[in-house]
Amino acid sequence: MIVLCTGTDEARARNAAREYVLKARAKRPDLSYLRITPDSFDASHITEWVGSQGLFVHKLLFVLDGVLADSEARDALKGAIKEIRESENVFLFLESANTKDLSAFRNAAEKVYEFERKAVPEKTQDPWALMNAVRARNAQRAWAVYRNELAQGTPVEVLAGSVHSVLRSAVEKGNRNYPNDEAARASLSFADRYHRALSGASSLSLEEEVEAFLLCL
């Protein structure tokens, strides 16, 4: 089974993919899933992915994040598209609208979630929105603002600095949304994610580490 999340509004497409995974795991808490990126993709595993099953579940969920942007990976997957479409496992493709030859996967998909970015005047985004969301400890709002800022071209380093500033303030001045020593723990956790991403000690990029932290506020 193929599911495709795409469109010019990449933030909404990514959100749709995340919601699909969350809903699938809510229905089946024991559902196993694997996120595959261009760096971790290995064409030799396609046959295994198509036919494999979990030990206690009949279906597995594979999230292929931007994999089709790589021509070799795209060709390999396209060559097995019939088997992927007929597989009992779910293959969720999260792709940019600019990905070449996406039509073959769109036509084979059982479900397609496509989002077009609406033209909006510049500077409609509240420059303090991310900081306010982190200060309020609103994970959903913080994540949405973060993805929107990235889509508008704000450097991840700038956004990380905003998050750090709020956490440092919560430690130094206090914040009722971070009682007891939770501000200190959050600040240390964020700093650890930041430095691990920059040093290469983490398997996630800085963008992904910041996102993971915000989702756990």
Q: How far apart are CA 166 and CA 97, in angstroms?
A: 34
Find out whether 38 and 129 touch, Cβ atoms under 8 Å. Answer: no
- Residue boundaries of the structural domains of the chain: 2-114, 129-215
Model confidence, pTM: 0.55
Amino acid at 23: K
Q: How far apart are CA 109 and CA 190, in angstroms?
A: 38
For residue 121, pLDDT over 50 is answered with no
For residue 210, pLDDT over 70 is answered with yes
Find out whether 187 and 156 touch, Cβ atoms under 8 Å. Answer: no
Task: Tell me which of 3.40.50.11860, 3.40.50.300, 3.40.50.720, 3.20.20.70 is the CATH number of domain 2-114.
Answer: 3.40.50.300
Q: Return the structure tokens found at 14.
A: 């990514």
DSSP reduced 3-state for 59: coil
Q: What percent of the chain lies above the pLDDT cut of 70?
A: 93
Q: Which residue has the higher pLDDT, 25 or 74?
A: 74
Taking Cα atoms as reference points, which of 82, 97, 81 lies closest to residue 7? 97
pLDDT for 33 equals 83
Q: Which residue has the higher pLDDT, 125 or 208?
A: 208
